[in-house]
Structure 1
């Protein structure tokens, strides 16, 4: 007896996909900047993202 639906992806299995996944990048920073980011006590990515978002919002406000 041969099973037709053997193996493969199971419907609904695994972690659900998110709508806007983040993209990994590589970034080179001076030791001074890296030490300051680390001193914040947060995840490095969270600090950098917060600062970039703040700058982006300020730039957009200047042109509105």
Structure 2
């Protein structure tokens, strides 16, 4: 029984070997986070989108702790 997808001969991406965006070694992970509206308002007033601002804050805290205990 042949797979119908393997029978397609298209030049528009899809099933051919190497098609699509290459996988990255360590993709970012999605998390859910609940914050007080005051904190969300402050984050929204910063430069960059929410994820960028939160990541900068967490990285800064992580680096500070590594320097302190490191």
Mark yes or no: TM-score above 0.5: yes
The one-character-per-residue Cα deviations of 1:3-48 (angstroms, maximum 9, x if unpaired) are xx53583210011111110000100000000000000131100000
Three-state SS of the structure 2 residue aligned to 1:37 is helix
- Unpaired segments ≥5 residues, structure 2: 9-13
Matches within 5 A, 1:30-41: 30-41=36-47
Where does residue 24 of structure 2 map in the other structure? 18
Q: With CA pairs under 8 Å and 6+ residues apart, which has the higher RCO, 1 or 2?
A: 1
The runs of 4+ residues in structure 1 deviating greater than 4 Å are: none
- Unpaired segments ≥5 residues, structure 1: none
